[in-house]
């Protein structure tokens, strides 16, 4: 089975409309911890992409450019190439996206 990839795109500075929201790195760490508690993390791959120094892969370039063009707020949460949250993502929405990918809760 292929791993489900959860990607958080963000930056050190907070997004202008995200006052009082956690930063991108905090959001990434919080999501990774919450998801790993509920699901078997051996089926999951987590990655954090800095929007100002993205890797060369086309998907990362695409989402980074969309954020820089103000089409998405960051942190932007993407599950297997599909946007599931932006700005201050909702955990339930991310869980639904994982379950639609066939990831089942443990326990």
72 occurs within a structural domain = yes
Which tens digits make up the pLDDT trace of 51-104? 999 999 999 999 999 999 999 999 999 999 999 999 889 999 999 999 999 999
78 occurs within a structural domain = yes
5, 79 Cβ separation under 8 angstroms? yes
Which tens digits make up the pLDDT trace of 2-24? 799 999 999 987 656 666 677 89
* CB contact set of 72 (below 8 Å; sequence gap of 6+): 63, 66, 83, 86
Measured CA to CA, the distance from residue 35 to residue 76 in angstroms comes to: 16
105 occurs within a structural domain = no
The radius of gyration of the chain's CA atoms, rounded to the nearest angstrom, is 13
Task: Count the residues in the chain.
Answer: 107
* Model confidence, pTM: 0.91
Give the CATH number of the domain where residue 81 resides.
3.40.30.30
The neighbouring-strand residues paired with 5 are 45
Q: Report how far Cα 52 is from the mean position of its chain's Cα atoms.
A: 16
33 occurs within a structural domain = yes
56 occurs within a structural domain = yes
- Structural domain boundaries, residue 22: 4-100
How many domains does the chain fold into?
A: 1
46 occurs within a structural domain = yes
Average pLDDT over residues 29-37: 95
70 occurs within a structural domain = yes
106 occurs within a structural domain = no
């Amino acid at each position: 089975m292929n791993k489900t990839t959860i990607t958080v795109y963000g930056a050190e500075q907070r997004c202008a409309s995200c006052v009082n929201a956690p930063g991108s790195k905090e959001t990434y760490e919080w999501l990774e911890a919450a998801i790993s508690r509920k699901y078997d993390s051996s089926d999951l791959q987590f990655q954090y992409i800095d929007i100002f120094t993205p890797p060369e892969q086309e998907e990362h370039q695409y989402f980074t450019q969309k954020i820089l063009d103000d089409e998405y707020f960051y942190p932007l949460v993407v599950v297997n190439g599909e946007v599931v949250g932006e700005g201050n993502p909702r955990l339930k929405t991310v869980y639904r996206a994982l379950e639609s990918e066939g990831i089942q809760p443990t326990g």
